Amino acid sequence: MPYFWRFKKFPESTADPRQLRILTFLRSNGPHTSNEIARTLGYPVKFTRKTLQTLRRMGAVEVYLKPSKSLEDYGE
């Protein structure tokens, strides 16, 4: 199951313009995985994951698990 990152709010202070770029991307494009964010913005995956963790602690983003199958897949 992949982890998806979702925009919550802009924090009071962000010193790094790359953090703002990630937040703006999530706000405009909806939830994405860290790999998708890194690939789209051209950042290293390790940097993106670290930045997302920092933004999570600031309350700017949240992470959730997206199951590979939805409830409809289990229907009749």
Q: Each residue of 40-59: pLDDT tens digit?
A: 999 999 999 999 999 999 99
Q: How far apart are CA 64 and CA 41, in angstroms?
A: 21
Scored b (16 or more CB within 10 A) or e, 5-31 reads bebbeebeebeeeebeebbebbeeeeb
Tell me whether residue 76 is in a domain: no
Tell me whether residue 49 is in a domain: yes
- Is 9:28 a contact under the CB 8 Å cutoff? no
Region 2-18: mean pLDDT is 88
Q: How many domains does the chain have?
A: 1
* HSE-up (13 A, CA, CB side) for residue 39: 5
Domain encompassing residue 60: 28-67
Region 19-32: mean pLDDT is 96
Tell me whether residue 13 is in a domain: no
Tell me whether residue 54 is in a domain: yes
Tell me whether residue 57 is in a domain: yes
pLDDT of residue 6: 96
